[in-house]
Amino acid sequence: EADIYQTPRYLVIGTGKKITLECSQTMGHDKMYWYQQDPGMELHLIHYSYGVNSTEKGDLSSESTVSRIRTEHFPLTLESARPSHTSQYLCASSERTGGFPNTGELFFGEGSRLTVL
């Protein structure tokens, strides 16, 4: 089983609240990711990091922000939650790979299901 942990697993909050979704991994992986997943839809990459002090926006525009101060920790923050932010958020990590082929197995946390009322 992968050593990557997300908290909280479930969160129900009101509009306008600030929330932080926590993600930690103990595998020493350089690369970490946040994905958004809605029922019946593919995973969409919203943020990724290649290492400490490195963060990039993914393919899906998101109002959330991330930070990577420590290798093992990659939290996601929403300053002002809205109902449109209701979704499942999955954190993942992988080993740094270079060159071809990129085998890049992703190790996922169990997800944080966010509901904004």
Partner 1 sequence: KNQVEQSPQSLIILEGKNCTLQCNYTVSPFSNLRWYKQDTGRGPVSLTIMTFSENTKSNGRYTATLDADTKQSSLHITASQLSDSASYICVVSDRGSTLGRLYFGRGTQLTVWP
Selection from 117, 97, 114 nearest residue 46 by Cα:
114
Amino acid 58 reads G
Site string for partner 1, 51-70 (x = CB under 8 A): --------------------
| Residues within window 22-41 making contact with partner 1, judged by CB under 8 A | 31, 40-41
Distance CA 101, CA 46 (A): 24
- Nearest 5°: phi and psi at 80? -145, 95
Choice from 53, 61, 84, 102 touching partner 1 (CB under 8 A): 102
| Residues within window 80-99 making contact with partner 1, judged by CB under 8 A | 90, 92, 97-99
- Nearest 5°: phi and psi at 92? -145, 160
Does 101 bind partner 1 (CB under 8 A)? Our answer is yes
Binding residues vs partner 1 (CB under 8 A): 2, 4, 31, 40-45, 50, 90, 92, 97-106, 108-111
